[in-house]
Structure 1
């Protein structure tokens, strides 16, 4: 038992939640009377989404010993199994935090619906909590309860109110569009979907199919089964509460919904994207894989999945992007993923052509520059790497005009100008602004330091590049630049150490050749730089 406890602490120390959950669970099953072990094991399994284990352990301890989320696990398990009375019994008398209390209230409401008590369910869900953001978060879920009770116009009214408050649950908005269609308001449904579908954001892809189906004359689909109704309703609640709650609590609630309805594409997509956004890549991947090809969320889920794969296998990620674009050649999101993945794999000719086609589509659709700037940025980057600098500069300036405070745009354009020795004052200003917007970025600090170096401000450049090396110790380019600055400030030994370090950091083939030349021969004096010119003049006079 000591070994399992030690393993649990070690796993937590190295940030391995899966190993921690296994270790704490093993320790608890060896001593089921130890409540400290139980709480550690329950929390660890909740963190990785193993709700089956959370439920199993909760059933082994006295009800009063169960933490709130373990109680919710048992209650939602009962709801999913149609044991509605057990759901009510498990939740009765429990004390929860305000957000968990709102979640529990809606679980009760859907349990009441399951017992044929729709009016009581609607009344329960409408009870105010006294906390404005929680009451507003419940609007879409309440609307779905009303739709379940066939009170469609009242449901429409609540959805309208949720929309005015900026609630953007994709599943909720898709349900709303179907509700409008069911009430004979096809034009209003189309007006809702048009600005959401087909835009440059990945989220927009989840509205493409509903809009296409509506325009094809397909009938409304609001007659969902009880479990799907509850999953979508509860999902809208969790997503609406997300902005005011810690990301870990949102993960926990989404895990609960995935346990309740493992077949729900909407829940799997939301959970996978949430986990990926917050750095839980290994946990995210199975949920993104779970989203079926007939789901409106499929393109968005596969886009997120492709980027997760890219971190460990760029070629496979590119294959995923090609496959998605082949299957959905008219999907803006799928084609944008392909362009971005081509650029990331430095297949710049093909990337440039794909960006060009996307920009043509967007301009023909009269999208605003604010919507198109990522495409200009992508095409500009590809053109710059292809040596088509005048065209690249035009694209990058279009991107900057549309997104003047976007750090990536400022960084790329500023560095490209500085590296060519063009508009150095403008480049330094741009990169200083990028650094202020994202002060923790070693790559941006590197660009800023390089611009200072190109401007002849060598001591400032050395200071900034040393900071960049501390923030990004594994970037070969940062070490390479720092070595150049050291060389030009009369510190050849330190320069060679940095160049040697850069060689150990997986530089490109081109960088490797340049570094090997520097290590062998050093750098020649630059007659355009004042310090080097003085050294060169002194050498000649001797």
Structure 2
């Protein structure tokens, strides 16, 4: 980078260095130093802006500033590599291909350049060229799987089915290779007219994982193609009892029941390559940063805009929203083709994203439009209810949950969350008998569900009802989730309400250790300290609860205790039919997100 890359060392945390190593196979020379001489203000400013955008995971800005830096210093390898990866990751494929051509000449080992150019060849049906640029060996597990599967699809595109299947079979590596190998072997066998072979492969995959919707969908399609439609329907019906309203399973079931010819899951080598990239991109997640999964998903959508029946766009949009690229993510979520199964999920995620961005009005409009478009979409009603509940619009939220429940003829175990959420709404809206009935229904559907045990048990304790059963419930919840500070707090508070103060202190100290930042738990511990004669520690905990951001009405009572330097109980215990002054601390999912105990999300691959 000439004069600009001298003197000042870049921090190790900058994503550019890690990605350069990952995708180039070596660190670009320019990634080690930057300037003390800011004589060329535009270049220095653009580079620092690019680094800042990297740190903020703002892909659009990073792409813009790296490309501008490259324009000013076209010899710098770091700028070239970053411009290549980021232009591809933001969907600027013409620019990405141009940078990839240059990169391949200057850094022949660049995996990013080879992947981008191979995708361009797949799109044009140039399968020999794609194989030439890909090479045959990856340098790590991710590269080995990606190259192996893409080369297999190129083999098939060239008419070499046996070679394609043998190549996939020969792939050695991690245990997580297997579902990819089986699924793509089945896709190729199906297109080659070897449906019986495809069925065996899919059965093997399904035996290993009956929750993966792509495997179940492929298995059902092949059964239908073999004129075994009744079995296909049975497979999908069983799947939908466990994962109600899954968009892909629902659409596939309707297609099979229509009696019309059933299309294969994948129709062309380019679509097969898109499935490879989309599947791996989705599996990568964002634990190691967002650029690699974003690159894979963008390349998949370049090959097939509707890759994975629209799921690639939903996955990429959600990934961007979750990492601060909300506007771009929402556009992707809303871009899913109306004919694709995951269209409704995309719109649903877009509405949730708007709410997360404090655009509640726009989110509400989007939810209402989604429900109007598809009145039978239960998930949209639940997600809208979750949003309203998060804004403490409990009555409206409960009405939405009720409308969702009315569309479930025979609620099963996966439906426990709807009754649980509606119970919370009723409890906060001072309708205790209805709330209690819903919590009991949730436990009927999912016995010993710890979140429900905690909420119902705490509510009983705070009302002075069913004290021993309540204590037993909360103890069971703690046994099931011993590291959940909110549930441990409930147990401590139950002991407190029973007058068993030493036991309350023990549990509440454990709860504070698990959730030190929570004001309610700290306040509870202060009360328990006071009851056991630990006056100074009680005053410290009350002040700490105040400083942690306690909210009304708890804050007013905490301030009274601090001012009086003594415990002040709530003015009156709530009536049995009333609402507790402090609701149970909830380890529940945030609005629009799945609980660890809830059924997997409908887009599980």
TM-score, with structure 1 as normaliser: 0.77
Q: How far apart are residue 423 of structure 1 and its match?
A: 4.8
Q: How many residues matched?
A: 518
Map of 1:217 onto structure 2: 259
Distance 1:80 1:494 in 2: 66
Aligned with 1:254: secondary structure?
helix
Residues 200 and 169 (structure 1 numbering): CA distance in 2 closer, same or farther, change over 3 Å?
Answer: closer
Map of 2:272 onto structure 1: 230
Kept in 2, the 8 Å contact 1:144–1:229? The answer is no
Distance 2:542 2:279 in 1: 58
CA shift digits 1:78-112 (9 cap, x unpaired): 21233323211101255332332222122222223
Aligned with 1:194: secondary structure?
helix
Kept in 2, the 8 Å contact 1:75–1:88? The answer is yes
Residue 102 of structure 2 is aligned to residue 57 of structure 1: no
Residues 107 and 405 (structure 1 numbering): CA distance in 2 closer, same or farther, change over 3 Å?
Answer: farther
Q: How far apart are residue 75 of structure 1 and its match?
A: 1.0
Equivalence map 1:366-515=2 (5 Å): 367-368=411-412, 370-400=413-443, 402-403=445-446, 406-423=449-466, 447=490, 450-451=493-494, 453-456=496-499, 457=501, 459=505, 463=509, 470-472=516-518, 507=551
Structure 1, 443-452 or 28-37: larger mean CA deviation: 443-452
Structure 1, 6-15 or 316-325: larger mean CA deviation: 6-15
Residues 515 and 57 (structure 1 numbering): CA distance in 2 closer, same or farther, change over 3 Å?
Answer: farther
Residues 33 and 216 (structure 1 numbering): CA distance in 2 closer, same or farther, change over 3 Å?
Answer: same
Aligned with 1:138: secondary structure?
helix
CA RMSD, 1 decimal: 4.4
Q: Greater RCO between the two (CA within 8 Å, min separation 6)?
A: 2
Residue 343 of structure 2 is aligned to residue 343 of structure 1: no
Residues 392 and 98 (structure 1 numbering): CA distance in 2 closer, same or farther, change over 3 Å?
Answer: same
CA shift digits 1:274-327 (9 cap, x unpaired): 627965663643332221222111223233333222222334333333322222
Residues 357 and 12 (structure 1 numbering): CA distance in 2 closer, same or farther, change over 3 Å?
Answer: closer
Aligned with 1:221: secondary structure?
coil
1:34 to 59, 70, 76: 76
Distance 2:54 2:475 in 1: 38
Report the structure, 1 or 2, having the larger helix content: 1
Distance 1:5 1:178 in 2: 51
Q: How far apart are residue 175 of structure 1 and its match?
A: 4.3
Kept in 2, the 8 Å contact 1:171–1:236? The answer is no
Q: How far apart are residue 184 of structure 1 and its match?
A: 1.7
Residues 354 and 374 (structure 1 numbering): CA distance in 2 closer, same or farther, change over 3 Å?
Answer: same
Map of 2:335 onto structure 1: 290
Equivalence map 1:156-195=2 (5 Å): 156-166=199-209, 168-171=211-214, 173-195=216-238
Equivalence map 1:239-254=2 (5 Å): 250-254=293-297
Q: Which runs of 5+ in 1 are unaligned?
A: 530-542
1:142 to 159, 173, 185: 185
Structure 1, 16-25 or 45-54: larger mean CA deviation: 45-54
Q: Which runs of 5+ in 2 are unaligned?
A: 1-42, 574-605
Distance 2:130 2:486 in 1: 52
Distance 1:424 1:45 in 2: 62
Aligned with 1:329: secondary structure?
coil
Distance 1:235 1:193 in 2: 26
Residues 3 and 172 (structure 1 numbering): CA distance in 2 closer, same or farther, change over 3 Å?
Answer: same
Kept in 2, the 8 Å contact 1:483–1:498? The answer is no
Distance 2:72 2:439 in 1: 62
Map of 2:349 onto structure 1: 304
Residues 70 and 437 (structure 1 numbering): CA distance in 2 closer, same or farther, change over 3 Å?
Answer: farther
CA shift digits 1:388-412 (9 cap, x unpaired): 3233223223424544565533443
Map of 2:123 onto structure 1: 80
Residues 420 and 110 (structure 1 numbering): CA distance in 2 closer, same or farther, change over 3 Å?
Answer: same
Q: How far apart are residue 381 of structure 1 and its match?
A: 1.6
